[in-house]
Amino acid sequence: MKKYNFYAGPAILPDAVLQEAAKAIHDFDGMGLSLLEISHRSPNFTKVMEEALSLSKELLGASDDFAAMFLTGGASSQFYMAAMNLLNRSDTASYINTGTWSSKAIKEAHLFGKIVEAASSKEDGYRFIPKELNIPKESVFLHYTSNNTIFGTQFHQLPETDIPLIGDMSSDIFSRPVELDKHGLIYAGAQKNMGPAGTTLVLVRKDLLGRIKQTLPTMLDYNTHIQKSSMFNTPPVYAVYVSLLTMRWVAQLGGVEEMAKRNARKAQLLYQEIDANPLFEGYAYKEDRSLMNVTFTIADAGLEEDFVSTCTENGIIGIKGHRSVGGFRASIYNAMPYEGVEKLVEVMQDFTKRNG
């Protein structure tokens, strides 16, 4: 039976990418050697890194004002690294708190500057995206989480401000066009919508670096990685390579504009069913619903486990909700085909017929 992977992360990758990635384990680039055993300084790999850096910028429409990096330590390391590279202790920065990941970013940033919560949706279980912002005018940047992987909300309009935005785009990078010129920095862990776990893409506006007084440890300074094209030390070669394959796949299909169309179509199909089906209910406010992580609950909590096992029997894998929300979460990233969502909807309808 065909299985559809709805896990939130590490998450589904396109079949074509997995096949190409498997080949590179045995014989990379016709070298007769595995990608896992060659020097990262070999021309065959430096070519991969160069293309990955340039293609990431191309897909996002980044100008030469931006530098791209593939780093390690996950998106979680960017929670402190971004603040550390952009703030002096006396500086102020604003953050929008829309859930678990934002809260973690805020906690880390407190170590490096005066951090203000410009808005929060905590009061209602992070079901919505706050629109009213309270941003002190001396803020160096405004940090937001473009897609809230756990609660299933997403910014459909950028937060309104004139200061540079910092976006944690871990779970919706390359899913839609981004107004990059409004951003000072964006980052995304690979394992949601870009590749396997192990690397994090960062794009930073170069003119924002160099404003801090403190000297940073070499590995934590963005300048190190920019100057060495993400090859200061050994990069996670395989994660970068598979991320490159995924970016090529996005580019071939028509780029982020085409991804946005496909993602809207998939999300619409699923939300339509959630709204029509008397057994299920959406978790997030309608206007702020995520096109990537669809969160929903079941009217009769006694049926929750039953629904998950029915899904599993039908090849629908990984839709149990995050422990902090409960219910279900269907992650429908770029690589999820329309047929996967159709299958889930069919299972929901059958389940309701039997239990409604």
H or E stretch covering 144: strand 139-145
> 13 pairs with which residues across the strands?
none
Q: Identify which of residues 9 and 113 has a Cβ nearer to ligand PLP in the complex.
A: 9
Contact with ligand PLP (CB under 6 A) among 5, 149, 154, 193: 149
Q: Which of 91, 168, 172, 288 is catalytic?
A: 168
User: Is residue 145 near ligand PLP by the rule CB under 6 A?
Assistant: yes
In angstroms, rounded to a whole number, what is the distance separating the alpha carbons of residues 304 and 141?
42
H or E stretch covering 185: strand 183-189
CB of 24 to ligand PLP, least distance (A): 23
User: Is residue 192 near ligand PLP by the rule CB under 6 A?
Assistant: yes
Q: Is 216 helix (H, G, I), strand (E, B) or coil?
A: coil
The helix-helix angle for 304-313 and 338-355 (nearest 10°) equals 130
Q: CA 296 → CA 126, 198, 281, 319, distances in Å?
A: 14, 29, 5, 10
Residue 162 is classified by DSSP as S
Answer for the pair 294, 263: CB distance below 8 angstroms, yes or no. no
How many chain residues touch ligand PLP (CB under 6 A)? Answer: 12
Q: Which residue has the tokens 């909300």?
A: 153
Q: Is 87 helix (H, G, I), strand (E, B) or coil?
A: coil
Based on the residue annotation, tell me whether 192 is a catalytic residue of this protein.
Answer: yes
In angstroms, rounded to a whole number, what is the distance separating the alpha carbons of residues 130 and 122?
10
Per-position x/- string for 7-26, each x denoting binding to ligand PLP as judged by CB under 6 A, each - no binding: --x-----------------
User: Is residue 153 near ligand PLP by the rule CB under 6 A?
Assistant: no
Contact with ligand PLP (CB under 6 A) among 10, 61, 74, 337: 74
CB of 150 to ligand PLP, least distance (A): 7
Contact with ligand PLP (CB under 6 A) among 42, 44, 46, 76: 76
Contact with ligand PLP (CB under 6 A) among 91, 108, 168, 273: 168
Q: Which of 57, 91, 192, 320 is catalytic?
A: 192
User: Is residue 143 near ligand PLP by the rule CB under 6 A?
Assistant: no
CB of 126 to ligand PLP, least distance (A): 12
Tokens, residue 237:
């070669």
User: Is residue 75 near ligand PLP by the rule CB under 6 A?
Assistant: yes
Residues of this chain that bind ligand PLP (CB under 6 A): 9, 74-76, 101, 145, 149, 168, 170-171, 189, 192
Catalytic residues: 101, 168, 192
